[in-house]
Chain A
Amino acid sequence: MPSKDAIVAGNLTKKYCGNVALNGVSFSIKRGSVVGLIGPNGAGKSSILKILAGLITGTSGDVLINGISVAGDAPHAKEHVSFMPENNPLPDHMRVGEYLRFRAELKGVPAKKIRANGEKVMRQCDLYYEARYRMIKGLSKGYRQRVGIADAMLGDSEIVILDEPTIGLDPHQIVGVRKIIAENRGTRTILISSHILSELETVCDSFIIINRGNIVAAGTFDDLSDDVCDRRLFFAQISGVEATIRDLFKSCGARISTFDNRSSEDSHAVKFSIADESCRALLGKIAAKNDLILKKFGRVEPTLEEIFLHSTRRCRDQDIGGEQ
Chain B
Amino acid sequence: MKKLWTLFKYDAYKLVVSPSTYAIAMIFATFIGAIFISLLREYMVAEQDVPFVQMFFRYCWLSTCMAVALITMRSFSEEYKSCTFQSLFSVPVQLWQVVLAKFFAAYLFLLVLWLCTLPLFAAVGTSCGSALLEAAFASKFSIIGGLLFTALSGLFFIAIGIFASSLTENQMISSMVTFCILVPFFVYGHIWGNRSKFYSLDPWGTFSESLSVFSQMDDFCNGVLDSRAIVFYLSSCALALCLSAIAVQRKLN
Q: Which of B12-20, B33-41, B176-184, B215-223 contacts its partner?
A: B12-20
Q: Which of B3, B252, B253 has the most CB of A within 10 A?
A: B253
Complex Cα gap A298–B104 (Å) = 70
B6, A75: Cβ atoms under 8 Å?
Answer: no
Place the interface of chain B in its size category: 20 to 34
A293 part of interface (Cβ distance < 8 Å): no
- Report which of A55, A82, A93 forms a contact with B252, defined as CB distance below 8 A: A55
- Report which of B7, B14, B91, B92 forms a contact with A91, defined as CB distance below 8 A: B14
A interface, CB within 8 angstroms of B: 50, 53-57, 75-76, 78-79, 81-83, 85, 87-94, 102-103, 105-108, 151
Q: How far is the CB of A120 from chain B (nearest CB, A)?
A: 18
A56, B84: Cβ atoms under 8 Å?
Answer: no
A residues in contact with B10, CB < 8 Å: 91, 102
- Report which of A78, A89, A92 forms a contact with B83, defined as CB distance below 8 A: A89
B90, A75: Cβ atoms under 8 Å?
Answer: no
A106, B252: Cβ atoms under 8 Å?
Answer: no
Residue of B nearest to A77 (CB): B92
Q: How far is the CB of A49 from chain B (nearest CB, A)?
A: 10
B87 part of interface (Cβ distance < 8 Å): yes
B92, A76: Cβ atoms under 8 Å?
Answer: yes
Q: Please, could you name 13 A-B residue pairs with CB atoms under 8 Å apart, sorted by A?
A: A50-B86, A53-B90, A54-B89, A78-B91, A78-B92, A82-B90, A85-B83, A89-B83, A89-B84, A89-B87, A102-B10, A105-B2, A105-B6
- Report which of B83, B89, B92 forms a contact with A108, defined as CB distance below 8 A: B92
B82, A56: Cβ atoms under 8 Å?
Answer: no
New A-B pairs, 13, CB < 8 Å, besides A90-B84, A91-B14: A54-B90, A78-B92, A81-B90, A85-B83, A87-B83, A89-B82, A89-B83, A91-B82, A92-B82, A93-B18, A102-B10, A106-B93, A107-B91
B82, A55: Cβ atoms under 8 Å?
Answer: no
A residues in contact with B92, CB < 8 Å: 75-76, 78-79, 106-108
- Report which of A50, A53, A75 forms a contact with B94, defined as CB distance below 8 A: A75
Complex Cα gap A103–B82 (Å) = 17
In the complex, how many residue pairs between chain A and chain B have their CB atoms under 8 Å apart?
63
Residue of A nearest to B82 (CB): A89
A residues in contact with B6, CB < 8 Å: 102, 105-106
Complex Cα gap A105–B3 (Å) = 7
Q: How far is the CB of B66 from chain A (nearest CB, A)?
A: 23
Complex Cα gap A139–B205 (Å) = 60
B residues in contact with A91, CB < 8 Å: 10, 14, 82, 84
A93, B7: Cβ atoms under 8 Å?
Answer: no
| Interface membership of chain B positions 71-88, coded 1 if the CB is closer than 8 angstroms to chain A and 0 otherwise | 000000000001110110
**A55 in contact with B86 given A91-B14, A93-B17, A106-B6 (CB within 8 Å):** yes
Q: How far is the CB of A193 from chain B (nearest CB, A)?
A: 14
B residues in contact with A92, CB < 8 Å: 82
Q: Which of B2, B9, B86, B90 has the most CB of A within 10 A?
A: B90
Q: How far is the CB of A50 from chain B (nearest CB, A)?
A: 8
B residues 87-126 with Cβ under 8 Å of A?
87, 89-94
Complex Cα gap A166–B93 (Å) = 27
Q: Which of A90, A91, A106 has the most CB of B within 10 A?
A: A106
B87, A90: Cβ atoms under 8 Å?
Answer: yes
A residues in contact with B9, CB < 8 Å: 102
B residues in contact with A106, CB < 8 Å: 3, 6-7, 91-93
Complex Cα gap A102–B93 (Å) = 12
Complex Cα gap A151–B10 (Å) = 16
A residues in contact with B253, CB < 8 Å: 56-57
Q: How far is the CB of A157 from chain B (nearest CB, A)?
A: 10
